[in-house]
Structure 1
Amino acid sequence: MGLIHIELFTTLDHVGQAPGGPDEDPEGFPFGGWQAPLMDDVAGAQVDAAYEGTDALLLGRRTYDIFAAYWPQVEDNPFATLFNSIPKYVASRGTPDLPWAKSTQLGPDLPGAVREIRDRHQHVKVVGSLDLVQTLLREKLFDRLDLWVHPIVLGIGKKVFDEGAVPTNVTLLEPPVASPRGTVLLRYGLADGIPATGDMSAPRRDAGGEG
């Protein structure tokens, strides 16, 4: 069985809308392209490494349209070579035109379709696609969650964790790494169960004896 990887750029207040440019998702959002001033070589290398071994993309309709209008026109770029050559699976409630080569629309049973994709591929990447991401988080249909957390607060915009999020445990897969401009990569894996609770006022025993 393969792995579903969610790759997201977010602000400190968890806004994930339109990081790449002002025309990406402009409706009611004045900060399109907020990621560009914060990119540096370290974060760029992290993004490059994250896509090594990718053999399929799972995208929402809006992200698909943006990618399909851009990547087929790009030459001499490793991301273009990768994205243009691998299967693209699109989640949409409508009947979209899918002109990008190797594109397939998923059926109405999204959880079932995602499980089939996971059985068919080893490393499936979910890029952007916040509505789709929230469904995957709610259904716990992901295996890895990579969050590049940028040192800004926007106070407006679509968020990674929105209404409908469910209690979920994740485990940190590797130590966080900060880039020179302050972006921190947090790499998590889905864990079993739901978050536990406790009482911080209760007596505790420390390693050296009674607390």
Structure 2
Amino acid sequence: MSSIVVQAFVTLDGVSQAPGGSDEDLDGGFPYGGWQMDFDRAASERADAAEENPVAEWEERTEALLLGRTTYELFASSWGVWDESAPGFQGELTRRYNRIPKYVASHTLTELPWKNSRLLRPDVPTAVAELREQPGGEIRVWGSTQLIRTLAEHDLVDEYRLMVYPLVLGTGKRLFSDGFPVSRLALAESRALPSGVLVNVYRRAVEA
């Protein structure tokens, strides 16, 4: 059996929109695109900034990607075209992302240019449930807040891995928006990085 694992960068007020770039997601006129990168650059100037990178560790377990349309198009135009021979983590992750299957939830896309991509439709929850029942490892969900909400509505998320940044933006798309389905979770891990980022891992709570 595989597991559906959501990974996200979020602020203290739960915003997960456009952490990696100013033009990543402009919906609603969001003015703070790239907030994670801005914070990381500032943190890197600290004398004690030699912190662990949990994402590198997590991505070693990724056996497939599950993405909504917007995140898929963003990833296809970055990881899908970047140089696999690039040094360090970027090259390593580019090679991995090109190799593994990509499952895409979209009602509008008809062609998927990134190799090893497959369109899930029309019944995404059923398709994801079938993927989850197959032998394998972690199916990784990045971004894709609408997809995550749909998965939560059908109890298909096994784990949330959140990197919580000590920022309050006051606006933007939230990972857990109003009306998000009730989800009972158990804290499996929590640790603070030297930068002040808090790494929290939550799994589905086991009922007594």
Q: Fold-level match, TM-score > 0.5?
A: yes
Moved over 6 A (4+): none
Gapped regions of structure 2 (runs ≥ 5): 45-49
Distance 2:110 2:202 in 1: 33
Partner of 1:35: 36
SS of the equivalent of 2:67 reads strand
What TM-score, normalized to structure 1? 0.86
Distance 2:159 2:182 in 1: 16
Distance 2:188 2:64 in 1: 22
What TM-score, normalized to structure 2? 0.87
Gapped regions of structure 1 (runs ≥ 5): 194-211
Is residue 2:68 matched to residue 1:60? yes
What amino acid does structure 2 have at the position aligned with 1:68?
A
What amino acid does structure 2 have at the position aligned with 1:181?
S
What amino acid does structure 1 have at the position aligned with 2:164?
V
After superposing the two structures, state which structure 1 stretch, 134-143 or 28-37, moved more. Answer: 134-143
Distance 2:184 2:80 in 1: 38
Distance 2:142 2:51 in 1: 19
Kept in 2, the 8 Å contact 1:111–1:139? The answer is yes
Kept in 2, the 8 Å contact 1:138–1:164? The answer is no
What amino acid does structure 2 have at the position aligned with 1:182?
G
Distance 2:195 2:109 in 1: 42
Q: How many angstroms does 1:32 deviate by?
A: 0.3
Partner of 1:49: 57
Kept in 2, the 8 Å contact 1:16–1:158? The answer is yes
Is residue 2:24 matched to residue 1:15? no
Partner of 1:130: 145
Kept in 2, the 8 Å contact 1:2–1:122? The answer is yes
Instruction: State the superposition RMSD in angstroms.
Output: 1.6
Q: State how 1:50-199 maps to structure 2 within 5 Å.
A: 50-75=58-83, 76=86, 77-120=91-134, 121-174=136-189, 176-192=190-206
Q: Deviations over 1:60-81 (max 9, x none)?
A: 0000000101112222211101
SS of the equivalent of 2:79 reads helix
Partner of 1:199: none
What amino acid does structure 1 have at the position aligned with 2:30?
F
Q: How many angstroms does 1:158 deviate by?
A: 0.4
Q: Deviations over 1:22-50 (max 9, x none)?
A: 0100131000000012235535x111111
Q: Once the two structures are aligned, what percentage of the paired residues are identical? A: 42
Kept in 1, the 8 Å contact 2:69–2:109? The answer is no
Kept in 2, the 8 Å contact 1:143–1:190? The answer is yes
Partner of 1:26: 26
SS of the equivalent of 1:71 reads coil
Kept in 2, the 8 Å contact 1:38–1:183? The answer is no
Kept in 2, the 8 Å contact 1:59–1:126? The answer is yes
After superposing the two structures, state which structure 1 stretch, 10-19 or 119-128, moved more. Answer: 119-128
SS of the equivalent of 2:170 reads coil
Distance 1:152 1:70 in 2: 26
